[in-house]
Structure 1
Amino acid sequence: MDDEEARTRLLDTAEALFYTHGIQAVGMDRIRTASGVPLKRLYRLFPAKESLVTAYLERRDGRWLNSLRAAATRPSDPRDRVRAVFDWLAEWFAEPDFRGCAFINAYGELGPTAPEVVRTHKSELRTLLADLTTGPPTLADQLLILVEGATVLASFTPGPTPAHRAREVAELLVPATDPKG
């Protein structure tokens, strides 16, 4: 196994274990065992648990935002773009392994010591929401609150309903503030 394969195995394993059980509940030895990567190589690739946590979150950030962006930018109408965000969330919330937002979960566990990627992710999500509509700057903040609130609620009661309710509220906001509405 070369370093690239070992890195992929470690990140796949870390993501599955951290997302399911929490960052603090999973030690490096458990990741080593589950990934099959020797401890020496693990620590060569990720000298500390913090570096593995950061790499896991960075990879998840890219994949998550790219998937949401692809779904939300397909429609040309800003109202349909906003609807697409909540439709995408509804599908995500209905996945059997849904455990809430990895970034909110990480911040909840680690607080101010959470990797910077946690804050960056939320900032990039807000920027994406702002890019989807031509409404006032506050609209992106309102949509972000709806996205985050729905995500937190769905972590307690998995399923698409929180996304559907948030979409209903978003539809009230967008036509009233979007010049194209």
Structure 2
Amino acid sequence: MGTTERPQRITMTPAARRVLEAAARLFYERGIHAVGVDLIAAEAGVTKKTLYDRYGSKEQVVVEYLADRDERWRAFLAQHLDAARPTPTARVLAVFDASRAWSAEHSSKGCSMVNAHAEISDPTHPAHPIITGQKQWMLTLFTDLAADIAPNQADPLGRTLMLLHEGALVAHGLNVFPDPLTHAREQAQALLADSEDSPNPHR
């Protein structure tokens, strides 16, 4: 699998951090295109000049917003994986548990990466590699976890788990039906039970 170079990051000063916190809230609640630098600066309590001095452009603010969420999500997920029972199935289900907890606390409107991609589909945008990179990372994670359950079916099983996970995130954001991540977890558990029962020529 090829890797995409991630964009450069800035050094966070106290003013830059205030800008990031304001931008993160506004981008997630209102959308990236709907929020201008004047509003971000006002909400952060800085001048527009300070914002540009720290970030250089609105695009860089978007980069920092998405990269920061990505880093916090990966750290959050790592804690859940570390706390999970060491069985392969328990570790897969821990991903769904982590997403349910994260969504309840941080993502009432759905996945920030999916939402951002709806606005940033241009692959030349500096934030695009962060969006697609996180989803590729999640696919690799599911595939690696699936390999511990059914080594000869790791790729298709990992993709199916990814589809369950991502579909649940979209359903959560759209409020299609209650608690889609728990439903996805239950479907994943049934899928993994079937995979464990299937003949495996590598065993």
2:157 corresponds in structure 1 to: 139
The superposition leaves residues 31-53 of structure 1 with CA deviations (integer Å, 9 ceiling, x where unpaired) of 00000122111101111111110
CA contact (8 A) 2:80 2:98 kept: yes
CA contact (8 A) 2:171 2:177 kept: no
Matched, 1:121 2:134: yes
Identity between Structure 1 and Structure 2 (%): 36
- Corresponding residue SS for 1:33: helix
1:85 corresponds in structure 2 to: 95
- Within 1, Cα distance between the matches of 2:57 and 2:106? 31
- Cα pair distance change 1:111/1:153, threshold 3 Å: same
Tell me which moved more, 4-13 or 169-178: 169-178
1:67 corresponds in structure 2 to: 76
- Within 1, Cα distance between the matches of 2:115 and 2:159? 20
CA radius of gyration, larger in? 2
Structure 2 unaligned residues grouped into runs of 5+: 1-11
Structure ranking higher on relative contact order (CA contacts 8 Å, 6+ apart):
1
The superposition leaves residues 31-78 of structure 1 with CA deviations (integer Å, 9 ceiling, x where unpaired) of 000001221111011111111101110111010122112202432011
Larger helix proportion, structure 1 or 2?
1
Aligned partner letter, 1:63: R
Root mean square deviation, CA, Å:
2.0
1:81 deviates by: 1.2
1:11 corresponds in structure 2 to: 20
1:35 corresponds in structure 2 to: 44
Question: For this pair of structures, how many residues does the alignment match?
Answer: 177
Structure 1 stretches of at least 4 aligned residues deviating more than 6 Å after TM superposition: none
2:113 corresponds in structure 1 to: 103
- Within 1, Cα distance between the matches of 2:178 and 2:72? 21
The superposition leaves residues 72-127 of structure 1 with CA deviations (integer Å, 9 ceiling, x where unpaired) of 24320111112212222222333386111111001111222552110001011112
CA contact (8 A) 2:19 2:40 kept: yes
Matched, 1:156 2:156: no
Tell me which moved more, 7-16 or 122-131: 122-131
Query: What TM-score, normalized to structure 2?
Result: 0.80
Structure 1 unaligned residues grouped into runs of 5+: none
